[in-house]
Amino acid sequence: MKKDKQVILTALLILAFAVVPFIVDSEKSYLVYSLFLFFCYIIISQAWNLVAGYTGQISLGQHAFFGLGAYTTALIWLNNITKTGYYFDPVTILLSGLVPATIAAIVGIPLLSRLRGDYFALGTLGMGEIIKVIFVKGGSITGASDGLHLPSSVYSSIRPYYWTGLFLAVFATLLIYLIVRSRTGLALKAIREDETSAAAHGIHVLKYKVLAFSIGAFLAGLCGSLYGIYLFHINPDSVLKLDWTLYPILMCVIGGTGTITGPLLGSFFISTVFSVADIYFVQMHPVMAGILIILVMKFMPKGLIGLTQRKEL
């Protein structure tokens, strides 16, 4: 009964978001653009949430997968590889998720089997930098530091970005929800709690860590692809910057890691703070965000989601 209500409420909320571009003037309103960013943030924070919040592997390399997604889209488009139209082409977007997922599996096996905890975090940070250097030094293939320019003449409205972002955000959240409620989720959480004990209870630790890392990369890649199509100009400074790792961490931690709604709240909170601060305190919004993060951590160590839970005795 209670669950039915939740499903209906969620569906209504998604529907409400879906009709926003019909209500406000989507081409002039700042609201549609900031909600588009909000959806992007949801996708990458749910990706980090699976890897770090549920599996306990602090990845600092999410920006590499985000960038790989954007570059995959650009390279497929410019080299006319799949011959499928490219602009909001599902095949291109899907491939932009699968390429980072595959690379995550390949680099994940040595990283996740050899490195634990902080060392894994530093390892992924190093991997991100290596990938960035590869794209900067990629010559004419990757356009070096200037990057790649997509034909921006196809742009007509922000609406398709908005709806694709909404769709991917719902997809990412639903995917993580289904994974953590499944038996795979049991293995991931057990690994987070105690790797040695998880192995002693029959869990193939490396297999599940790589799986989570790879799914995280897949989602980051999808988001990178969408954002790349929005930018039309893909270069290392825009899609491979560390922000794409730091923002999701921030949003998960503020909202509450290891929960489904936490990253949603965190993404909403951060994107609102960024948007508002950008209007009223131009160039100062990182300072505002920093102060708010310190306050949230000081008074709500479990994140915003902690407010809805009963106080523990």
Binding to other proteins in span 263-292, by CB under 8 A? none
* 100/75 Cα distance (integer angstroms): 14
The residue (of 28 and 183) whose beta carbon lies closer to other proteins is 183
* 198/54 Cα distance (integer angstroms): 14
The residue (of 137 and 204) whose beta carbon lies closer to other proteins is 204
Would you count residue 203 as binding other proteins (CB under 8 A)?
A: yes
Q: How far is the CB of 205 from other proteins (least distance, A)?
A: 7
| Residue 251: partners with Cβ closer than 8 Å, 6 or more residues away | 41, 45, 263, 266, 267, 269, 270
- Please report the DSSP string for 173-220 in residue order: HHHHHHHHHSHHHHHHHHHHH-HHHHHHTT--HHHHHHHHHHHHHHHH
Do 56 and 191 touch, CB atoms closer than 8 A?
yes
Would you count residue 20 as binding other proteins (CB under 8 A)?
A: no
Would you count residue 180 as binding other proteins (CB under 8 A)?
A: no
Would you count residue 196 as binding other proteins (CB under 8 A)?
A: yes
Would you count residue 205 as binding other proteins (CB under 8 A)?
A: yes
As to burial, measured by CB atoms within 10 angstroms (0-12 exposed, 13-18 middle, 19+ buried), residue 2 is exposed
The residue (of 15 and 200) whose beta carbon lies closer to other proteins is 200
Q: How far is the CB of 209 from other proteins (least distance, A)?
A: 13
Which residue stretch of 57-65, 105-113, 157-165, 192-200 sits at the interface with other proteins (rule: CB under 8 A)?
A: 192-200
Which one among 25, 27, 146, 194 touches other proteins, defined by CB under 8 A?
Answer: 194
